[in-house]
Amino acid sequence: MHGFANPKRFLSLARWLTPLLMLGGLALAGVGLAWGLFLVPPDRLMGETVRILFLHVPTAWLGMGGWTAIAISSLVYLVWRHPLAALAARGAAVPGMVFTAICLATGSIWGRPTWGTWWVWDGRLTSMLVLLFLYFGYIALAQAAAREGVSARIPAIFGLVGAVNIPIINRSVVWWNSLHQPPSITTGGSAIDGVFLAPLLVCVLGFSLLFGGVVLARMRALLADLQAEARLRRRASEAAHA
Amino acid sequence: MREALDQWDFVVAAYAVGLAGTLAMVAWSWLAMIRAERRREETRRP
């Protein structure tokens, strides 16, 4: 793992992996969404609105996956102090936040025709909204720490502490009464019919590749900013001593 | 009497929000990366 954490090796890998993940993700997500939109029959209970599933579920998983990535990267940063781990955490924050926001928006749009309401303050929806606010806090904290030249330890600790919300989101529909349905896909199998499951898995894979591509792009941008800033500082210091 | 909801309106709205958000994020991240790497290359020049 330390070998891949070398910035030079990371860049040589990320240069070809970033466009590959983005283009592959766009293609797969496009195919999955078109499949879900035009080829899947309406659901017996939810009718045509079942098509929102193919957008809502991948973004929900990646919203939670984004924070899990932040927590793991933060732990790696705190234990091994590797700066690339801090960049990985910052790189996962924006796509995680965007997917959480899309999940909340599509869920709300889905809720109106299915539940008869745009929003309810139940465990699942509220804990997902808390996740969005945690993303806002993490992004602001990480940007402030980078701008002030403060150690990335404070955002890393925030990233680890915030991870307590992930199992709460996951178990919320089991612990509390909710309008939201219980988990349909578990380690024990899937309650979703194969007609819906196949395009859903294509969408999950496509959006996951997109997520990976965006994380790499954001890491490359952060790394380039750091390297440019370090070079300018070194040049200014040399000019001052000349 | 209440008017029946057209389910397709909700599907289209959800897809519009989801696709616009995803594509904007991908484009923004890609452009930010290109700009940052160009800035870094500029600082390499003597």
From the CA of A39, how many Å to the nearest CA of chain B? 14
Q: Are B7 and A49 in contact (CB under 8 A)?
A: yes
- Nearest of A213, A203, A171 to residue A55 by alpha carbon: A203
Strand partners, A43: A47
The H or E element containing residue B4 is: none
From the CA of B21, how many Å to the nearest CA of chain A? 7
Of A22, A109, A225, the CB nearest to B26: A22
**pLDDT at residue A173, rounded to an integer:** 83
List CB contacts (< 8 A) between A29 and chain B: 22
Judged by CB atoms closer than 8 Å, whether chains meet at A220 and B33 is answered as yes
The H or E element containing residue A122 is: none
pLDDT digits (tens, 9 = 90+) for A4-16: 568 888 888 999 9
Q: Which of residues 69-88 of A touch B (CB under 8 A)?
A: none
From the CA of B6, how many Å to the nearest CA of chain A? 9
pLDDT digits (tens, 9 = 90+) for B2-44: 556 788 999 999 999 999 999 999 999 999 999 999 999 888 8
The pTM (predicted TM-score) of the whole model is: 0.92
**pLDDT at residue A145, rounded to an integer:** 92
**pLDDT at residue A174, rounded to an integer:** 84
* Tokens coding A54: 């193919």
List CB contacts (< 8 A) between B43 and chain A: 227-228, 231-232, 235
From the CA of A47, how many Å to the nearest CA of chain B? 8
pLDDT digits (tens, 9 = 90+) for A192-237: 778 889 999 999 999 999 999 999 999 999 999 988 888 888 888 8
The H or E element containing residue A204 is: helix A194-241
Give the three-class secondary structure for A43.
Answer: strand
**pLDDT at residue A235, rounded to an integer:** 84
**pLDDT at residue A164, rounded to an integer:** 94
pLDDT beneath 50: ranges in chain A: none
Judged by CB atoms closer than 8 Å, whether chains meet at A228 and B7 is answered as no
Cα A149 from Cα A127, distance rounded (Å):
32
Judged by CB atoms closer than 8 Å, whether chains meet at B36 and A221 is answered as yes
Helix count and strand count (H, E) for chain A: 7, 2
Give the three-class secondary structure for A170.
Answer: helix
Q: Which of residues 1-46 of B touch A (CB under 8 A)?
A: 5, 7-8, 10-11, 13-15, 17-19, 21-22, 25-26, 29-30, 32-33, 35-37, 39-40, 42-44
Of B30, B33, B40, the CB nearest to A227: B40
The label of the residue with tokens 């796509």 reads A95
**pLDDT at residue A179, rounded to an integer:** 78
Quick one: closest CA in B to A94, which residue? B25
Q: How far is CA A188 from CA A17, A183, A191, A197, in A?
A: 33, 11, 10, 15
**pLDDT at residue B3, rounded to an integer:** 59
ipTM of the complex: 0.90
Q: Are A169 and A124 in contact (CB under 8 A)?
A: yes
Cα A80 from Cα A76, distance rounded (Å):
6
